[in-house]
A and B are shown apart, each in its own frame.
Chain A
Amino acid sequence: MILVDLDALASCLTSPSCLVTQTTSGLIIGMLLFLVAVGLTLIFGVLKVVNFSHGAFYMFGAYFAMTAYQLTGSFALAILSGAAGTAILGLIFERVFMSRVYGRDVLMQLLVCYAFVLIFDDVVRMIWGPEFKSMGMPAAFQVPPLFIAGGVVPPYYLLLIGVALAAAAVLGLGLARSRIGKVIRAAAHNPGMVSALGINTGLIYGGVFALGGMLAGLAGALAAPVRSLTPGMGFSVLIESFIVTVIGGMGSILGALIGALLIGLIRSFGSLGFPLFTEGLMYLFMVIVLVSRPTGLFGKEVA
């Protein structure tokens, strides 16, 4: 058993083809994580709760996309239904359940989310069955991979990275510039004052939760062709995206992006150099950040 394989890592770092392959695979891990983590961080920034059941939205996004793809055969519709379905789910979840535990102690919020992790996993098991499922690569992307500097890059990866970057840009600009973005930021700072100005804060809360759920669902839908689907698939993503938000700083969108990319690259290159300690590297990195900067790399700003 090899614990550390620095030779493999070094030979990859010096070969352009391997560098390209590993970097792209790191980027898609990072981009998927970013979409989940940014929802988590947004919900925390505005609602001050950590959505412990956020991974379930990722899972539902993937399953919705798979079902829609099998029914219609259209990949665009699959992505759309993954995102829209989880947005509706997020809205219902927030209005009916989470809104009852705002301002109560963290224990209650965690328990409500914990209950839904259990319920959602079983619901998926009920509807889609406990076994591994796969959606399969859509026909439009069943083309030979591109070769960039000798490295293999499937075209689908480019789409995935592009969509995630577009989402990041829309989200960042929307929050910074648009009227709704300003209202959301104001609600994060002082919900009482926003409400006094005649704005329905409940609607904003529900909307932010739906947006967060939608982003996670989008990540799930985008991941469906390249990952196997299983009940409980959301949980490991949740833990990783939480690590991302801890590294980037809770409430910071830029932090989520940087944190997600760092984790993605650590995972893809770490699997070469430390095959048995890849997960451990992630935690190690988190610990280093936490000890040196307890609020995360970009912890000061609030979304």
Chain B
Amino acid sequence: MTELQAGQSAQPLEVPRIETRPQRYRDVLIALAAFVLLALLPMVFGSKQLLDFVIRCAAYGLFATSLNLLVGYTGLISFGHGMFFGLGAYGFGLMMQKTGVPIPVAFVATLAMTFVVAVVIGAICVRLKEIYFAFVTLAFQMLIHSTILSWQSLTGGDQGLRGGIPRPPFLGIDLSNHLHLYITSCALLVIGLFLMRQIAQSPFGYTLRMIRDNATRASFIGIDVWRAKLTIFVLAALFAATGGMIMALFVSGAYPEFAYWTISGEGIFINMLGGVTTFLGPMVGTVLLLILNDTVTRLTEYQGIVLGVVILFFAIGLRKGLMDFVVEWFAQRRGEGRG
């Protein structure tokens, strides 16, 4: 019996290794196609509003998809993932304002800083059981938020980083040019999504799914659960920080709201909205939430009530994300076609 069980659990680990290569080619093609489409968009629709919308989608989309690596793939419900979004925005903004290094250097340095912070916080948090994990990550988020508020001489307190972020041109890319910023954001989004997709489809990604489904069994077959969880926590933090950097570049500043807990709440909601069972679910959720947010802000000042009701509708009423329905619908149709 035990041998049989061990055999069963080892099986899914072998499957992706066989399929990896053709899938990766397909992913590269999809990523290239998506990037070309996005890059051609300004030629067809020149409206600045639309491009702004795509840039915001890139920032939040990277953040939400990285959160899905934790929530959907590993079963780690982080309620403080937004802290890395805020850290990315502040780290990058400060680096550019105070040191004047080229943008790529600041980018890498911010990622390095996020890495260190994420390792420390992750090492404390990933051992905890789910509800503790959710709240302790939330507590760390509040710590970072309150540090930003009280460390006025560095961060500008509740006014945020003002005076704009200098954006010196590098390698012929001038990010103070709106079109350049748009293309760069799209490139970062596509590369980020591609990398996260590779993580999710790798043997490591399947290890994460196994930890989500049965952590005890995973540790019995020799997986270091703590290390795997910490690794994905740190990786997800890096992608969230990238989202934060796009946001800082877009608004040319950083504000305490970027590190406030509501960002994490929105991230969780985006995942719910789009669905956590598909890789692109959070991306769909991001687009939906941003459209919803923009519409609601225009109509009423009480966005909280509207958003809250929508969340309740999804959480209690539908119990699923939108992409989950799409996937089910396709599966059903395929089943009918065969029958």
Interface on A for B, CB 8 Å cutoff? Answer: 1, 44, 50, 97, 100-101, 104, 106-108, 110-112, 114-119, 121-123, 125-126, 235-236, 239, 242-243, 246, 250, 276, 279-280, 283, 286-287, 290-291, 294
Assess whether B312 is interfacial by the CB under 8 Å rule: yes
| Cβ–Cβ contact A239 & B304, under 8 A | no
Please tell me if the beta carbons of A112 and B139 are within 8 angstroms of each other in the complex. no
B117 within 8 A of A: no
Contact A246 B135 (CB under 8 A): yes
**Smallest distance from the beta carbon of B124 to chain A beta carbons, Å?**
6
Q: What's the minimum C-beta distance from B326 to chain A, rounded to whole angstroms?
A: 20
Q: Identify the closest chain B residue to A239 (Cβ).
A: B142
Are B124 and A290 in contact, with the CB atoms below 8 A? yes
By the criterion CB–CB under 8 Å, are B316 and A97 in contact?
yes
A117 to B79, CA, bound (A): 14
Assuming A279-B146, A286-B139, is B268 touching A122 (CB within 8 A)? no
**Contact status of A106 and B265, CB under 8 A, knowing A97-B312, A119-B309, A246-B136:** no
Q: In whole Å, how far is B122's beta carbon from the nearest beta carbon of chain A?
A: 13
Known: A114-B265, A118-B304, A276-B151. 7 other contacts (CB 8 A): A44-B131, A111-B272, A126-B305, A239-B139, A239-B142, A286-B136, A287-B124
CB contacts (< 8 Å) of B150 on chain A: these are: 276, 279
CB within 8 Å for A119 and B304 given contacts A107-B268, A283-B139: yes
Complex contacts, A243 vs chain B, CB 8 Å: 139
Min CB distance A274 to B, Å, is 11
Contact call A112/B135, Cβ cutoff below 8 A: no
A to B contact number (C-beta, < 8 Å): 106
**Interface size class of chain B, counting residues whose CB lies under 8 Å from the partner chain:** 35 or more
User: A104 — which chain B residues lie within 8 A by C-beta?
Assistant: 319
B159 within 8 A of partner (CB): no
Among A123, A286, A294, the residue within 8 A (CB) of B305 is A123
Q: Are A294 and B131 in contact (CB under 8 A)?
A: no
Check A112/B131 contact, CB under 8 A, given A119-B304, A119-B309, A290-B124: no
Q: How long is the Cα–Cα vector from A258 to B265 in the complex, in angstroms?
A: 30
Tell me which of B269, B308, B314 contacts A116 (CB under 8 A): B308
Q: How near does chain B come to A74, taking the closest CB pair, in angstroms?
A: 32
Q: For residue B213, give the distance in angstroms from its CB to the closest CB of chain A.
A: 12
Q: CB < 8 Å: which of B127, B135, B304 contacts A242? A: B135
Q: Please, how many angstroms separate the alpha-carbon atoms of A76 and B265 in the complex?
A: 38
Judged by a CB distance under 8 angstroms, whether B257 is at the interface is no
CB-contact partner of A110 in B146, B268, B309, B316, under 8 A:
B268
Question: 14 A-B residue contacts at CB 8 Å?
Answer: A44-B131, A50-B134, A50-B135, A100-B316, A107-B272, A112-B316, A114-B265, A114-B311, A115-B315, A122-B304, A235-B261, A283-B143, A290-B124, A290-B136
A118-B305, A119-B304, A294-B127 given; A111·B139 CB < 8 A? no
User: Given the interface contacts A114-B268, A280-B143, A280-B147, does A119 sit within 8 Å of B77 by beta carbon?
Assistant: no
State the 4 A-B residue pairs at the shortest beta-carbon distance, nearest first.
A122-B304, A118-B304, A119-B308, A115-B311
Q: How far is the CB of B69 from chain A (nearest CB, A)?
A: 15
B70 to chain A, nearest CB (A): 11
Residues of A within 8 A of B269 (CB): 111, 114
* Minimum CB–CB distance for A127 against chain B, Å: 11
In the complex, whether B153 has a CB less than 8 A from a CB of chain A is yes
Say whether, besides A50-B131, A118-B305, A106 and B77 are in contact (CB < 8 Å): yes
- Closest chain-A Cβ to B111's Cβ sits at a distance in Å of 24
Cα-based distance from A117 to B127 in the complex (angstroms): 28
Is B280 an interface position by the 8 A CB rule?
Answer: no
- Which B174-228 residues have a C-beta within 8 angstroms of A? none
Decide if B138 is an interface residue (CB 8 Å cutoff): yes
Query: Whole-angstrom distance from the CB of B306 to the nearest CB of chain A?
Result: 9
Cβ-closest chain B residue relative to A114: B265
Contacts of A115 in B (CB 8 A): 307-309, 311-312, 315
- How far is it, in angstroms, between the C-alpha of A119 and the C-alpha of B265 when the chains are bound? 14
Kindly identify which residue among B77, B132, B302 contacts A126, using a CB–CB cutoff of 8 Å: B302
Contact residues in A for B115 (Cβ distance below 8 Å):
none
Contact A242 B131 (CB under 8 A): no
The CA of A250 and the CA of B133, in the complex, are separated in Å by 13
Which of B147, B304, B315 sits near A101, CB closer than 8 Å?
B315
Q: Contact between A1 and B153 (Cβ–Cβ < 8 Å)? A: yes
Q: A97-B312, A111-B315, A280-B147 are contacts. A118–B307 as well, Cβ < 8 Å?
A: yes
- Name the residue in B71, B151, B316, B319 with the highest tally of chain A Cβ atoms < 10 Å from its Cβ: B316
Complex alpha-carbon distance, A115 and B312, angstroms: 6
Q: Does B33 contact A (CB under 8 A)?
A: no
